[in-house]
Structure 1
Amino acid sequence: MRSPKLIVSALALVVGASSAAHAGGELYFYNWSNYFPPKLIEKFEKETGIDVTLDVYDSNETLLAKLQAGAAGYDVVVPSDYMVKIMKDAGMLEKIDVASMPNFKNVAAAFADPPFDPGRAYSAPYLWGTTGFTYDSARVPNGRLEESWKSFFEPPAELKGQVAALNDEVELWNAASYYLGIDKCTEDSKDAQKILSVLEKQKPMLAMYQSDGTIERMIAKEVIVHMQWNGASHRTREKLPTAVYVYPKEGIGLFQDNFVIPKGAKNVENAKIFINWMMAPENIAEATNFAGYMNAINGSEQFMDASLRDDPAVNMPADKIGLLRPSKECSTKSRELRDKVWTRLKK
C-alpha cells in the first residue's frame, strides 16, 4: 500500500476547513473494525478532497504486530492508551504536537494531558469507554445474572457454549485479574498461574474467542453472554432490548483510543488535517453516534443522539464510577507473564 508522497502545505492545517477543502491527495487509515462511520469518511473526503482508504484490525496487539512486521502504508492508526506509550517508546510514532492544532481547544481538560502522552505531543483523543460483558436477560436463568465477573468466568451450567469472550489478551487478563483481586501488572508467576486457572476453567464454557461481530452475534442470538465494549453493548441493545450491560463489582476496564501517525507515514500533512478535523465537535459526535462510545471533545453533546444519554452502558451511572480501572503500562516482566498465559490458553 505505497503511494506517491503528496506534500500539502501545513498552512492548510492552520487556516482551517476552507483551505483543507483543497488539500487533495490520499490518506490510509487503519482502525478497529466497525468503529468509524462510513458517512463520516464521505464527509471528510467531500470537504477536503482527500481520498481515504480504511483497513481494520481487532486488537492493539494485531496493530502493533503488523507495524512491527513492516507494514508501512498507513497514515493514521488508532491505538489505545497503553499502546500509545509502547509505540512512542519504541520510536514508532511521528511527533506531531497535537496540542498546537487549531481544534485542540475543544479537547476536555481531563483528556488534554494524559500520562501516556504528556502534552499530547504524539496523539489526539478519539473515543473512550469500558470493557464489561452483556447478557440477554430473556435467556438467562431467572432473567438476571450477578453483577460480577463470576457470571462471565463461571457462568451457570445452562449457559455452556452460549458465552463468548473477546479474542484479546489484555482484556481477558485484566478482567481475570479484577475478578481475583490481583494487580493486573503483577510480576508474580503465582498470580499468573491463578489467572491462567480461571481462564482455563472458563474455556470449555465458551463458544469462541472473537472480537469482531460481537453486536451481530448477540442480535442473532448466537450466544447469550458476550464480553463487549460498552459501545458495542449499546448498539446491541438498539436491536435487542433485553440486552443488559454489566458493570462487575470487582472493577471494569477503562480505555481511551487515540489517533496517531506512524513513523514514516507518506501523507503526514493529510493525516494532521484529518486529526484536526476530528477534534471538531460536530465531526466527533458523528463517530460517537455511530460507535456508541463517548468522546473527549467539548461541545459535541449538542450533536449527540438522545439514546446515548439514556443508556447506562454509555452514560455510566454515578454509583458505578468507583469501579473504573484505568489502563496501565505494565513492566516487561509482567507483559511476558501475560503473553505466556495467553499462549498457553490458546493452544
Structure 2
Amino acid sequence: MTDSHDNLAFRAALARGMVSRRGVVLGLGGFGMAALAGCSVKGRNPGAGSAAAAAPVAKSAPDQSAAEKIVNWSNWPEYIDVNDKTQARPTLDEFKKRYGITVNYTEDYNDNDEFYAKVRPLLAAGKDTGRDVWCSTDWMVARLIRQGYVQKIDLANFPNHANIEDSLVTVEFDPGRLYSVPWQSGFAGIAYNPKATGGKKVESVDQLLTDPALKGKVTLLTEMRDTVGLVMLAMGKRLEDFTEADFMAAIDEIKKAKDAGQIKGFTGNEYGKPLSSGDTAACMAWTGDVVQLQADNPSLGYTLPSTGCTLWSDNFVIPGMARHKANAEKLINYYYEPEVMAQVVDYVNYISPVRGTKAILAKEDPEVAKNPLIVPDQKTLSKAHVFRGLTAAEETKFNQAFSELTAG
C-alpha cells in the first residue's frame, strides 16, 4: 500500500474547498447504520417502518453484461483509492485486469437531492439512467426502495454478501440487505482549532452553542440529521425514537444560538479551509474530512461528544433499467473482498463495512488501523447513534423547519 502520511497530506490539500461527499444541500444524513465490527450501538431500530417491505418492483432491462464488458458507476468525489503519482485508481484497474470489465467511474454524485433530481425523471419513466450502480446515503436509499427505483441484488452474483458486518445486515430501510450494500460510513462530531480557541478544547455541543469565547466563530452542518441529531443528543433525546416536539425543541436551541450571534453559518465540508486558518474556531464536522485535514494541520482537534455522535453510511444501489446489472453485482462483490476494501479505506479514511479489513490494515498500515475514527473501537462505537427513519410527512415538515433556520 502507498504511504499513509503522503496520501493524507495530498488529499487534505484536495479537500479544502471541495464539495463534500456528504453533500451541501438540506436534508442529508444517515439513519441506517446501527453498529460496526460486531458491536452494539444505541439507537438501532431494525425492521421498523421498512421501506423494502412494501416496495414496488423496479423495472428491469435485458442484461447486456455478457456482451458488453462495462459497468457505469457514479460516486461521490474523492471517495476511492488513487495513486497520487499517476492518478490511476488501483482497485478499479485490478478489477478490469481480473474480470476484463471496464468501469466507467464518474464522480458526479455531489449531493443526494441534486443527483436524485437528475435521475428521477428517467426512473419514473422506466428509462435507463446511463448508470448501473451508484452510492446513496441511507435516507435516500430508503426513498429509492420505497418508490421502486432500485433493483434487488442477485445474491448468486454476490457471494461476499457474507462479509457484510453482521450489525449492518438488518437495517430499518432494507432488512437483509437485499437492495443496498454499504460502501463507506462515518461519524459527525466536533472539530476545533486550538489557535482560535485560546488553547481550549471544544468537546460539547453546549460549548458550540453557548461559549462566549467562540461567539461568531462557530459553524454547524447543512446536514439536518447531523446538526439536529447532535443537538438532540446533547439535550438527552434518543435518536431512534425522538418525537416531533423533541426535533422542534432542538431547532429552537439552534435558533437561539444563531440569533445571539454565536453561529456564523452552516456549511458542508467547506468548513475545512476556515477551520485550518482559524477563521472558524470550532464546527460540526465529519470524521474522514478531519482525518485528512489533520495530516496537513496536526494541531486541529476532533472529538465525538460524550452525549453522542451521529453515524451514517453511503450504499451501493442498482437502479431500475440498468443495462449491466450482473457486472455491477460483480463489482460490488469484488469490493467486499477484505483485501480490496482495506486498500480503499487506507486511502479515503472512512469506516469499512466489510468484515476482515481491520486485520489487514493492522498489518499493512498500523497507524490507520489504530485510528478509532477509521477503525472504531467499542469506546468510540458506544457514542454512536443513528437518526430514525422519517415518514414522508415528517421529512417535509422537518426539512422546512431546518431550511428556515439555515436561511440567511
Q: TM-score, normalised by structure 2?
A: 0.71
Change (3 A) 1:76 1:208: farther
1:186 CA drift (Å): 4.4
- Report the CA distance between 1:280 and its aligned residue: 1.2
CA distance in 2, matches of 1:23, 1:233: 40
Q: Alignment partner of 1:111: what SS? A: helix
Q: Tell me which residue corresponds to 2:73.
A: 28
What's the secondary structure of 2:292's corresponding residue? helix
Is the Cα contact below 8 Å between 1:97 and 1:122 reproduced in 2? no
1:78 and 1:260 in contact (8 A); partners too: yes
Q: Tell me, yes or no, if the aligned pair for 1:79 and 1:260 is still in contact at 8 Å.
A: yes
CA gap 1:171/1:232 in 2 versus in 1, 3 angstroms: same
1:167 aligns to 2:222 (yes or no)? yes
Which residue of structure 2 aligns with residue 334 of structure 1? Answer: 394
Match of 1:178 in 2: 233
> Which AA in structure 2 matches 1:196?
I
Is 1:294–2:351 an aligned residue pair?
yes
- Whether the 8 Å CA contact 1:98–1:120 is kept in 2: the answer is no
The structure with higher relative contact order (CA 8 Å, sep 6+) is 2
Q: CA RMSD in A?
A: 2.9
Aligned residue in 1 for 2:368: 308
Q: Which residue of 2 aligns with 1:273?
A: 330
Q: Distance in 2 between matches of 1:213 and 1:287?
A: 23
Cα separation, 2, equivalents of 1:311 and 1:342: 33
Q: CA contact under 8 A between 1:261 and 1:271: conserved in structure 2?
A: yes
More helix, by proportion: 1
User: Structure 1 115/228 Cα, relative in aligned 2: closer, same or farther at 3 Å?
Assistant: same
Q: 2:182 aligned with 1:125, yes or no?
A: yes
Deviation at 1:100, TM superposition (A): 5.4
Does 45-54 or 89-98 show the bigger shift?
Answer: 45-54
Pairing of 1:172-251 with structure 2 (within 5 A):
172-184=227-239, 186-188=242-244, 190-203=245-258, 204-251=261-308
Distance 1:168 1:178, change over 3 A: same
**Corresponding residue number in structure 1 for 2:163:** 106
Alignment check: 8 A CA contact 2:186 2:287 kept: yes
Q: Deviations over 1:142-177 (max 9, x none)?
A: 4312x22112333x3343443333222222222222
Question: Which SS does the other structure have where 1:35 is aligned?
Answer: coil
1:41–1:220 distance in 2 versus 1, CA, 3 Å: farther
DSSP 3-state at the match of 1:53:
strand
SS in 1 for 2:396: helix
SS in 1 for 2:182: strand
- The superposition leaves residues 28-51 of structure 1 with CA deviations (integer Å, 9 ceiling, x where unpaired) of 31x233222242344444544414
Counting aligned pairs with the same residue, the percent is 22
Q: Does structure 1 retain, via aligned residues, the 8 Å contact 2:157–2:326?
A: no
CA distance in 2, matches of 1:267, 1:187: 43
Q: Which residue of structure 1 aligns with residue 16 of structure 2?
A: none
Deviations 1:104-163 (A, max 9, x none): 233232223334212221111212221112112343134312x22112333x33434433
The answer as to whether partners of 1:81 and 1:327 remain within 8 angstroms in 2 is no
CA contact 1:233–1:313 (8 Å) conserved in 2: no
Contact 1:98 1:124 in 2 (8 A): no
Q: Note the alpha carbon deviations across 1:70-126, whole angstroms, 9 max, x for none.
A: 472332221233332222111111111347512223323222333421222111121
Question: Is residue 132–residue 229 contact of structure 1 (8 Å, CA) maintained in 2?
Answer: yes
Provide the rounded CA distance (Å) in 1 between the counterparts of 2:242 and 2:166.
Answer: 31
**Pair 1:152–1:36, CA change in 2 (3 A):** farther
1:194-239 deviation per Cα after TM superposition (whole angstroms, max 9, x unaligned): 2222222344444443324444554454533232222222222222
Q: Residue 253 of structure 1 aligns to a residue in which SS?
A: strand
Q: Secondary structure of the equivalent of 1:119?
A: coil
Q: CA separation in 2, counterparts of 1:219 and 1:66?
A: 34
CA–CA separation in structure 2 for the residues paired with 1:119 and 1:173: 29
> What is the number of residues matched between the two proteins?
328
Residues 136-147 of structure 1 mapped to structure 2, 5 A cutoff:
136-145=193-202, 147=203
Q: Deviations over 1:285-328 (max 9, x none)?
A: 12211221221222222442222233233344543433221232
Tell me which amino acid in the other structure corresponds to 1:345.
Answer: L
